[in-house]
Amino acid sequence: MKNFINLIVLVALVLLASCDQKTKKIFTEADLSVIPKPVAMKLTDGTFQFTGKTKLVAHSDQQQTAQSFSEDFAKVSGFTMEVSDKLPAKNFLQFVVDDTLEDEGYTLVVKGSEIIISAKGRNGFVYALETIKQLLPATFEGSVLVEDEEWVIPNVEVSDAPRFKWRGLMLDVSRHFFDTAYIKRTIDRMAMLKMNTLHWHLVDDQGWRIEIKKYPKLTEVGGFRVDQEDKSWNTRPNAALGTEATYGGFYTQEEIKEVVAYATARGITVVPEIEMPAHVSSAVAAYPILSCLENEIMVPSGGVWPITDIYCPGKETTFTFLEDVLTEVMALFPSKYIHVGGDEATKTNWKTCDHCQARIQSENLESVEELQSYFIKRMERFISSNDRILIGWDEILEGGLAPGATVMSWRGVKGGLEASAEGHDVVMTPGSHCYFDHYQGDQDQEPLAWGGYLPLSKVYQFDPVVEGMTPAQEKHVLGGQANLWAEYIPTTQQSEYMIFPRLAAMSEAVWSPKESKDWTDFSKRVKGLFKRYDVMGINYAKSAYQITANTEIDLAKGSLLVTLKNEFPGSDIRYSLDGSDLDTTSIKYTAPFQISSSTSIKAAMFEDNKLLGPVLAKYINYHKAAGKKVSYKEQYHKSYQGAKEVGMVNVLRGSKHFHDGQWQAWLGNNMEVVIDMENDTEISKISVGAMEAQGSGIYFPTKVEAFVSKDGKKYTSVGAITRAYVSNGDTELKDFEISFEASQNRYVKVIATNLGSAPNGGGSWLFVDEIVVE
């Protein structure tokens, strides 16, 4: 009987051990999916589990941060962790002040029954908690109770600190207005990625968004415009004076204070931008006396170029106004930086303004460029007298830089190089890597954007320290930031789409050590972040999953070599060549393949046998001129060479992204080409593919004419299409098709007539991607 009882006890112990083994979470290095990547992170044996009995041990300065963490946890766990300054024997998370650490650095040690966070100040503690959150299950990011979740994290040792002190995101709320609820959500998401600067673009031509009590018309008049949201941004006409203005909004000073406090609690500084001397039509509409001409204008509903309704620096009243405005602004924003814009000022009116000319004479200035320098230097003196630092776009370099100014380099990196060489601090934000209003995927599959092309992988390549900087210049690089201009961002959903996941790549570019950056590693970790974004309900872009198809003509074989890829290395790509829908039985892509006839290609990325992201659908029309010899009367422009000698007949069509490598272009000149079909060929249709993107100076041809010939000397016209210029704010692709009675010919000539001169006076571009012969 005794032996039987012992056997029962033994079996029970084995079963208990088995149950414990089933619930015990085993972590691997792959589970350390933290973005941005910490400086050092080591996985050790064991785990820590948060429960309702876990204590958060913090003294007065850290208790607000600890309390916020407890409240976030309570939403999903159902239990509330007590915040106390008493240290229990076990099951606690302790905040420890360590003045030897860097300003925003932290260490994190998780070992079984305790977690120790050490930091110098609030930001370090906030960032340590963000690392813990990313080690928790993705369900932590939700806002509703999660049943049956074990809130377990691995035992780790982390030592971390940012590479740069300025890690920013600029939100433009002038072109399209977003409420404070969205601003706060964005702040939360910035904190998640250890970003520390929200650059708030509060003023521009299309709207003044901050209440200034001394000048109420700035928001009463300047905060609203005539609603033309049904029209393309760059085709919205000037509204007649007195037209009811209903689109817009602004933030009250109380709302501003609320947002600033919310950001501060999450380790984020809010830097206000109050534009000057240009991008201020909204202010001029409210107070015409601020301009040179003093004409009454309406707040523009769309694009403005050139920007001539700007502040008059010849009048003392202008500076009185600006000092009054900035006095109220500085009372709301504790940030030591005040952004004054300073970009894209067309100084036409300054050249003829009596006040401006008098100022030029009295200050012994040489030009209107020096007058802008005088303007910025004067504002810098006022800002510095209030113990703040003026920061502006790199145009503030023109005419001489104010002594204490910091430069934000956006027109490439030249401004940053120049300013840092002169001993000024710089924030690097070149459009090539930091403008999130640019497309991030195939333009034909993406929502309307400003233009350009900035995929996730290119953001990841960004480095604020650029080639040519000396060690002394590198010390003046504060960091970098992403910019989301909102001309084409009408909704918060689209704003999210443009920001995420690219902000994750930016965060690692400005936080993690340069030598630790690895795109393959990041591409694995960012997929874990996608799961969190799903829980958070973020409308993030899946553009990095998009498949692109590149072709190369093999003239010897008379076929096309097709290469499929996306941004993620080693992706499981499946495809079909008959237009059929994709599933797990579709062809697995392993190497480039050849086609020699017209083909409907579909391709997409799969993971765990599930289709991810959009499906590429391309019809490759392997027409009769494919790969044939093309002769040019006027060579295409060196900046847009397409596939060069076979660019007109490589059968792969261009997208709306005119830098995609498929377009050939002519600036101000006509296109005239001859295609040698090699033998007499029956031809009955000739099509010319063209693009129009008037905002970028690209226009459809005004005439397309096709000719055929047997000997290459005597040509017969087989048809022409004429098209008068029409204003068009959209990017559009169009095939100009000419059909005619079939005949046998060896040579095809096509002439496309360039518009010649753009409506704004500049040269016009003619873009052509393919001449299809059928």
In the annotation, is 204 catalytic? yes
Q: Which residue from 110, 134, 116, 99 is spatially nearest to 49, judged by alpha carbons?
A: 110
E-state strands within 186-284 = 197-201, 203-204, 207-208, 224-225, 247-248, 269-276
Tell me the torsion sign for CA atoms 97, 101, 104, 105: negative
Cα 183 from chain centre: 16
Cα 545 from chain centre: 17
Q: Which residue from 531, 599, 540, 529 is spatially nearest to 564, judged by alpha carbons?
A: 599
Q: How many angstroms separate the first and last alpha carbons of the chain?
A: 95
In the annotation, is 339 catalytic? no
The amino acid present at 11, given as its one-letter code, is V
Q: How far apart are CA 261 and CA 274, in angstroms?
A: 20
- Cβ neighbours for 472, distance < 8 A, ≥ 6 positions apart: none
Q: How far apart are CA 432 and CA 123, in angstroms?
A: 30
Q: How far apart are CA 238 and CA 253, in angstroms?
A: 30
Q: Which residue from 445, 434, 359, 442 is spatially nearest to 394, judged by alpha carbons?
A: 434
> Per DSSP, what are the bridge partners of residue 722?
703
Catalytic residue among 176, 199, 279, 438: 279
The amino acid present at 400, given as its one-letter code, is G
Taking the CA of residue 352 as centre, how many other CA atoms within 13 Å lie in the half-sphere pointing to its CB?
Answer: 5
Q: For strands 114-119 and 106-111, give the pairing.
A: antiparallel
Does residue 759 contact residue 688 with C-beta atoms inside 8 Å? Answer: no
Is the bond into 490 cis (omega within 30 degrees of 0)?
no
Is the bond into 216 cis (omega within 30 degrees of 0)?
no
Region at 605 (left for phi over 0; alpha for psi -120 to 50; beta for the rest)? beta
Token readout for 52 is 């309702």
Does residue 540 contact residue 497 with C-beta atoms inside 8 Å? Answer: yes
Catalytic residue among 104, 130, 160, 204: 204
Report CA dihedral (206, 212, 216, 219) to the nearest 10 degrees. Answer: 20
Token readout for 381 is 């003196």
Q: How far apart are CA 145 and CA 148, in angstroms?
A: 10
Q: How far apart are CA 90 and CA 530, in angstroms?
A: 34
- Cβ neighbours for 488, distance < 8 A, ≥ 6 positions apart: 233, 437, 447, 448, 449, 450, 494
Catalytic residue among 82, 102, 255, 344: 344
In the annotation, is 279 catalytic? yes
List the catalytic residues. Answer: 204, 279, 344
